[in-house]
Chains A and B, each alone.
Chain A
Amino acid sequence: MTDGSATAPTRTSEILRQNEQTLLTEWLQQQLSAKAFRSGRLKESELREQSSEFLSAFIRALQSGKIFDPESSAWSEVRDVLGHLSRSRATQGFTSGETATFVFSLKQPVFARLRQELGRDPAALAEETWAISTLIDQLGLYTVDHYQKGREEVISRQQQELMELSTPVVKLWEGVLALPLIGTLDSSRTQVVMENLLEQIVSTGASLAIIDITGVPTVDTLVAQHLLKTVAAARLMGADCIISGIRPQIAQTIVHLGVELGNVITKASLADAFAIALERSGMTVTRLAPRT
């Protein structure tokens, strides 16, 4: 054993195997007193189960005599346990630091065991400590990586859902479509909005589309450009567009920025735009019964 980081800590694995129960008890005690646990997000029984599952998998993998390698089959069980753990911690609202602490907190009881067993041989103690410490660090980092990956998956899935949810095309009347936009318009959303709108123009044969921007928080030059692109594409398909839902502040911003909306019809409210649409298709709305 010349290089501690490259070889598996063989003596440690034997010591740990013999002391698995005491180790587990000590480790649990330590975790239970930690701040992350006291917040009440995790039940004690759950923590006990996770800890013993991880510890036994960890000791079995150590005994295979192979150093930690995320790809190797000897460590697949440990990987599975950690992967599952980091995913569940992510959904329970633990931070990445708290999740990694689960692994790192194993160091203290392990070192205590080693000191007890190898106390008379300082050289061996130092070497084994170094090896097991490196190993636990690697496992901790693996957990953080996995935790982050889990988070990123959640974020990208939500982004996708948001994209689909926020771009509905509504048929208001025969030949009149409404496109209530909610949220900031970036280029990828504009693409989705444009495609949805054009598909709907084809399938409903609409000749007028009302783009309502009440839900768009800010309109800058880029958003305006995206809106104009959508209008231009709809026009190429033979449908005219009305932009409605322009709030007073947005009207001011548009003028201050010098955005040229061209000859696009703009209206303050969706109702006004709809009135134009009805008028254009030669229809009027009349009251049949007197107001009650």
Chain B
Amino acid sequence: MLERIPILKMGAYLLVTIQVDMHDQLALTLQDDLTDRIVKTRAKGVLIDISSLELVDSFMGRMLGNIAAMSHILDAETVVVGMRPAVAITLVELGLSLKGVKTALNVEKGMSLLEDRVRGRVDGNGRFER
């Protein structure tokens, strides 16, 4: 049986909660499934929750970046939420600061960030304007 990461639809957004260690096949399946779902549901945003991941390696970092880029092409914003401090430090030390991926502390904040972005209140970089 093939393992899959569930993708939940919440209104105009898709919610992905990653709770297991990612390996190549699982990541590719997730990319396939997610792009399919974005097209089918015409989702405006994708929320990826990684709060239960204690270990993130460079592969995982690249995969998150890829998913964000793919969603962007399909006109959906991606927000990664719930990263743990240790994981954030590891990614920075690895030199992967996930440029181009929006982040938020938790699902709630991620959701409000998505709503803001969909309403077009924040500038193109996902950051507050000077």
Contacts and interface: CB of A to CB of B under 8 A. Distances in A.
Contacts, number: 65
Contact of B91 (A205, A207, A236): A236
Contact of A236 (B103, B110, B127): B103
Contacts of A36: none
B105 A232 contact: no
A20 interface: no
Interface in A219-266: 229, 232-240, 263, 265
Interface size class of chain A, counting residues whose CB lies under 8 Å from the partner chain: 20 to 34
Given A205-B105, A238-B110, A229 B85 contact: no
Contact of B98 (A205, A234, A236): A236
B81 interface: yes
A263 B105 contact: no
Nearest to B104: A238
A205 B83 contact: no
B125 A237 contact: no
A235 B103 contact: yes
A237 B92 contact: no
A236 B88 contact: yes
Central interface residue in B80, B91, B93, B103, by most chain A CB within 10 Å: B103
B97 interface: yes
B70 to A, nearest CB: 20
B65 to A, nearest CB: 12
B106 interface: yes
A229 B130 CA distance: 21
Interface string B81-112: 10111011101110001100001111001100
Central interface residue in A194, A202, A235, by most chain B CB within 10 Å: A235
B111 to A, nearest CB: 12
A199 interface: yes
A201 B89 contact: no
A276 B113 CA distance: 18
B127 A202 contact: no
Contacts of B98: 236
Interface string B71-82: 000000000110
Contacts of A207: 104-105, 109
A265 B130 CA distance: 7
Nearest to B113: A238
Given A198-B85, A199-B85, A229-B92, A238 B128 contact: no
Interface of B: 80-81, 83-85, 87-89, 91-93, 97-98, 103-106, 109-110, 113, 125, 127-128, 130
25 contacts: A198-B88, A199-B85, A201-B105, A202-B84, A202-B85, A202-B105, A205-B105, A205-B106, A206-B105, A207-B105, A229-B92, A229-B93, A232-B92, A233-B91, A235-B103, A236-B97, A236-B98, A237-B88, A237-B105, A238-B83, A238-B105, A240-B128, A263-B125, A276-B128, A280-B128
9 closest residue pairs by CB, A with B: A198-B85, A238-B104, A232-B97, A236-B88, A238-B105, A233-B88, A238-B103, A233-B92, A232-B92
